Amino acid sequence: MSYEPQEQDLFLKCLLEANVDGIIAFDRECRYTTWNRAMEHISGVKREDVIGKNAFEMFPCLTTTGEDKYYREALEGKSVVAENRPYIIAQSGCNGFFDGYYSPRHDEKGEVVGGVAIVRDVTDRERASRGSAGREGSTAVLVCGALVRRSARTRLLQTVSVGDRRHRVRRSDERGVQQLRSGARPPSIAAG
């Protein structure tokens, strides 16, 4: 096997895209520089929609859930693991649980120039664990300013807060959520 730089680059690109785990990389300003195919599948968000964008502007829920801490620790030169973290992607409605393995990314001088993370979707494991424990209740997760409840049957409801009022909205009612956030009150949603 030849180790020509072009062959190495091709091999690394194939490895990145063939991986079943999500792989992301970000620079010192937390702008995404890598977003592989598995990450597209996990998040429901295309690579071209995130590359070059700030992680916390693109996904404000990262700050809400405290995930920004792991990004910052990687930028401080630390390798950290975030286990069994809930996720709900507002742009796509994708949701579940993941384990994140964050590490710093160094340049040739050893300086931290960004971070990289391996994102493993553990939704099936978490749901099986909850099912085997006999939990029929629901899990509440605060994501992007909305309280989201997931029942054991995976129905998803959002309680969207607008000012001091709360509205329950079905996950599939994206238009209703958008109307609420813009200040309009859709007639089909009762205030809670």
As a whole number, mean pLDDT of residues 137-147 equals 42
- Where are the domains positioned within the chain? 5-123, 126-181
pLDDT grade, residue 14 (50/70/90)?
Answer: confident
Looking at residue 96, its pLDDT comes to 92
pLDDT tens-place string over residues 20-70: 999 999 999 999 999 999 999 999 999 999 999 999 999 998 998 899 999
Give the separation between CA 65 and CA 25, rounded to whole angstroms.
Answer: 19
Q: How far is CA 17 from the centre of its chain?
A: 18
Q: Whole-prediction pTM value? A: 0.66
Of 102, 98, 60, 61, the C-alpha closest to 79 is 102
pLDDT of residue 143: 45
Give Cβ neighbours of residue 147 (< 8 Å, ≥ 6 apart).
140, 141, 158, 159, 161
Report whether CATH 3.20.20.70 matches the domain 5-123.
no
For 172, phi and psi rounded to 5 degrees? -70, -10
| pLDDT of res. 57 | 95
Q: Is 97 exposed, middle or buried (0-12, 13-18, 19+ CB in 10 A)?
A: buried
In this prediction, residue 146 carries a pLDDT of 41
Identify the CA nearest to 67 among candidates 49, 78, 82: 82
In whole angstroms, give the CA distance from residue 44 to residue 87: 12
